[in-house]
Copies of this chain bind each other. A is one copy, B any other.
């Protein structure tokens, strides 16, 4: 009966599958993998000459396998989240070439009989990153060693994953021992492991977060991808379980400049940054009384460079803490990192 719960773990490096997708917006996962995990991608494969390209070497599954690839990852989505018939020859080819298949679509690989049969025949695995690992326990609430940073937000889909990835990369560059801890599909594919927090049964939500960022040496940092928002009328349960279980020492609050309402819910105004900081600290204090806010990660992608720098400066003065756009980098971002590391 007893099973030791772990995170999902993906076989790497990958061959990235692009299907016949022509619209870059549907290949966000593939672009994310290229941008944040280039060294784990041996090449790309599509099944149409018109498909988008990432500029990686174009390889057949057999070629990718010969170059060390261990799995082919479906890096694209379509409207229904379905595995298309036109993709099947490539998917079967990958299994035959000795690659496992990894996907995060609505339709699960294991619910596609032809893939199940082929995987069995070739002794390969079908890994759905929306399916949580088994045996996750309820949280213990016990304080763990090591340092943790959690990206939280005023809303969904405004840069929590990119913020965590950028901070992780920057910490590594500074020589700090750090891991990126992924909580969503794309993040899990980039990291090669993680916990699909929104797919966990509520009773085990905080427990899953505890498993995701285990005890570590005192100067090690786990940089944890946030999910949802404490203020989101649908997803706050995910955010609170993640906050309690992560026991963060530091939060970084993510926000998109100019966003005033919850995405898709115009009747819900976004909270202020002050309110977001305050509520996250108040709730986070329950499992880590030493929690503090390192600063603000401001998504300024819709502003010009000068507008962005001006807004970051004025917000930083107003709030009395670093405000940076990790994608723009610069001095502001270095100050944010300093504040996260040293308070």
Contacts and interface: CB of A to CB of B under 8 A. Distances in A.
Interface of A: 138-142, 197-203, 205-207, 230-231, 233-238, 240-241, 244-245, 262, 265, 267-268, 279, 282-283, 286-287
Contacts of A240: 230, 236-237, 240
Contact of A233 (B206, B234, B238): B206
Contact of A203 (B141, B238, B244): B238
Residue among A236, A238, A245, A262 facing the most chain B CB atoms (10 A cut-off): A236
A320 B161 CA distance: 46
Given A141-B267, A240-B240, A265-B141, A287 B233 contact: yes
Contacts of A197: 202
Contacts of A267: 141-142
15 contacts: A139-B234, A140-B265, A141-B233, A141-B234, A141-B262, A142-B267, A198-B202, A199-B202, A202-B202, A202-B237, A205-B237, A233-B286, A234-B244, A236-B240, A236-B286
Contacts of A139: 233-234
Given A240-B240, A265-B141, A268-B141, A203 B286 contact: no
B203 A201 contact: no
Contacts of A286: 231, 233, 236, 268
A42 B236 CA distance: 42
A277 to B, nearest CB: 14
A282 B240 CA distance: 14
Contacts of A142: 267
A201 B197 CA distance: 9
A291 to B, nearest CB: 13
B231 A206 contact: no
Contacts of A198: 201-203
A40 to B, nearest CB: 27
